[in-house]
Structure 1
């Protein structure tokens, strides 16, 4: 699963390993790895300079010894092995000390392969959108079918109350990220997992801090496809032309699916307050009737169809899959209703790409028909902060009534020149020209003030960010409760 340099790092792992230290433990996948290692009986320490919920609670509950900040002192006494997260830059003082030391080190994907994946059947979800939900969904379906899978997902799966689980079954379900692996391995993470079966949900441009353009993104997915031989299965969402393109030469058994295109289709789709319902067709013939997906949303129907296609190829029956989907609770921070006060429903979502924002707003509009949507958005991701989607973002908010744009998030390790930065004032004007009332706010506090002033009974307040968004959703809900009393 690795190149020669990766194989060399893996060969340096001592036997036995007792103590493992994670540099950059606050990332979702790193926190999951830390918990998994603890569950396997290792002594685990981890360092980071920023820890957010829900990762902080997950780490504390998993008994990981946390160290605040990065320092060479965190490597004393020396661990048997160190794992370096991909947020760590080569000038990080702890990383500098690690590289200069005799301590063996791995990337997060290398550690996952060595300790957890190499003896399992890996079922992976990759793609620009829907990875986290699809991964949690597949793990839940397998668990409901009695297969006792292991799982690692980039969010908290509501059915398991965690971002990982270690089961005794043969399957390990994992979210395959196209983001780079580590500062010493700039290839995508998903090349390290050796997937026996994989879903490609979508291929679009993203991660503008590491990918030059769409062709660069496609090159990573082509590398994944080329890695999969004829013994493997690849399910590809045909609704995204670039996903079809990168998988066109697949040696693996390629199965295509989609809402509009593909051999497998979702038919008779209905979406409402109780979720989504659909049937599955293959080549025009109906192969399964009336599947109920409680979380709703048409993108989630596509996610569920991808899970149906891949698991069917590995011998899980349609009835077993449908039974699992029927009880799937979703993922924290994906269209998650966190409360209601003064007649206003408050929803939290991770959306940060124009496509994701558009389908999230569509899903909320179908779930709460006839209600105004007040949508707050923080340009926080490494792509959203740049102007690469300056025009695409405008159309993404068409289903909102009011839009509140936060200031572009500043990152010291990724400063953006003014000419490359998203212009929120121009974006607000473009959104307003399409029909929604949009405001570029100077601060998150201004968003809060405006939303409190504008909110009325019957509204849905949607907060979208791939970070904590300054606690706005909780503060907004608290303010509504104060107003109600």
Structure 2
């Protein structure tokens, strides 16, 4: 008999992917949500599991269910959750359920404030190319993979381990629930200001995670990051294996990056200091899983990047339009510097949409000091509606110039004015970089693309 699961807040990016993955596995799936956006809506509809009506319906909860999967978006007083508790139905947060489904597998967790999705995507790409059987959980849609989650009988699962809160019932980081065998940590830079009010509190979560490594486990860490290195250096007589990694040896020529390995030069499509650290971290994981180095290098050449990570939207001989997910200060700075270093002869126009609670908060903005220093032009976009929804005060240009430590920084609060400003630009020997965890109010990029594509 197939198992039956009900999703409370089924519309979330990862939640709907898990629902589709379980449906694929032969389970019976139902769900509810008070709002479902694209692409979740169409994907759930095509699979036949889109809720008929928006809202919460306790009558959907019955004793025949094997469990409830609770999304972060649901509130603690959700009527379906209350009914499930009354009936004694097991309630799983998303990470608890992933662990429940992978208890008998080797669990590899990729953690850190930045680079998680890229490292996980690189590993998945290489394992798939080498026909290795594996399950996975990744935080973005990846080329060549139809879902962000896969659960099967594979002996290994690769998990992107997020430090954000687990669920309305569980206010601890998600990554504590995966109980890793192998842990990779890329870097620590204060994020989620609204949840972890001090850097010390934020850093402590990563210390606890490393402490959870079993005696037979492995800790793979980026020694270029001072906070991660400090954790590794503080480990005394630990029984588990420690493997440091740094930036892969490389050279840049004519806007292309080549990995250097003994006498070999391996061309890759990704670039920038952080990505070359990410790549070396991914290599260490693949080696730990028994892959050969030469197989990794052969496969990584065709890796074009995770969605919205240095993604090329338009390109000509002397100009590129990039889109990137960068939003936290460390991510923003790494992306701006990577593009400028890769194309030193080109002007760089960097546009950042401040979208998260932390980035929109004037008490946090000083953390962005110097992050856009490598850009020739620095532009900030703020959506007044997004600021209002988060019950924050709209920052002015003077506040942002002080926070970013950049006197010529420009602020736009009207998407149409920003669009018109960018479309008037001459893009000869110029790259433009659009960075955000949002979507620039679905700004129409067709004219911008056509100007660059020529």
- TM-score when normalising by structure 2: 0.88
Aligned partner of 2:376 in structure 1 is: 401
Indicate if the aligned counterparts of 1:271 and 1:298 stay in contact, CA closer than 8 A. no
Aligned partner of 1:352 in structure 2 is: 327
Aligned partner of 1:107 in structure 2 is: 93
Residue in structure 2 matching 1:335, options 286, 303, 310: 310
Indicate if the aligned counterparts of 1:293 and 1:301 stay in contact, CA closer than 8 A. no
Residue in structure 2 matching 1:273, options 230, 241, 255: 255
Change (3 A) 1:388 1:291: farther
Change (3 A) 1:63 1:201: farther
Distance apart, 1:216 and its partner CA = 1.1
Distance apart, 1:23 and its partner CA = 1.8
Aligned partner of 1:86 in structure 2 is: 72
5+ long unaligned stretches in structure 1: 1-15, 260-265, 281-285
Partner-residue secondary structure (3-state), 1:30: helix
Q: Distance in 1 between matches of 2:342 and 2:221?
A: 27
5+ long unaligned stretches in structure 2: none
Cα offsets for 1:217-239 (capped at 9, x unmatched): 12211221111122111101111
Q: Distance in 2 between matches of 1:233 and 1:142?
A: 19
**Structure 1, 339-348 or 142-151: larger mean CA deviation:** 339-348
Indicate if the aligned counterparts of 2:318 and 2:429 stay in contact, CA closer than 8 A. yes
The alignment yields a C-alpha RMSD, in angstroms, of 3.1
Change (3 A) 1:102 1:222: same
- TM-score when normalising by structure 1: 0.83
Distance apart, 1:337 and its partner CA = 1.3
Distance apart, 1:33 and its partner CA = 1.2
Partner-residue secondary structure (3-state), 2:445: helix
Residues 42-441 of structure 1: matches in 2 within 5 Å? 42-56=27-41, 58-60=43-45, 62-66=47-51, 69-72=54-57, 75=60, 80=65, 81-100=67-86, 102-115=88-101, 117-166=102-151, 169-247=154-232, 248-249=234-235, 250-259=238-247, 266-270=248-252, 273-274=255-256, 276-279=257-260, 289-340=264-315, 345-407=320-382, 415-418=390-393, 425-428=398-401, 431=404, 433=406, 437-441=408-412
The reply on whether 1:464 has 2:450 as its aligned counterpart is no
Change (3 A) 1:484 1:180: closer
Distance apart, 1:432 and its partner CA = 7.6
Cα offsets for 1:238-287 (capped at 9, x unmatched): 1111112233325421111113xxxxxx224436534x32236xxxxx6x
Q: What is the aligned residue count?
A: 450
Cα offsets for 1:36-69 (capped at 9, x unmatched): 1111111223333444455445545555324564
Distance apart, 1:200 and its partner CA = 0.2
Q: Distance in 2 between matches of 1:448 and 1:325?
A: 36
Partner-residue secondary structure (3-state), 1:399: coil
Indicate if the aligned counterparts of 2:315 and 2:452 stay in contact, CA closer than 8 A. no
Indicate if the aligned counterparts of 2:423 and 2:447 stay in contact, CA closer than 8 A. no
Distance apart, 1:77 and its partner CA = 6.4
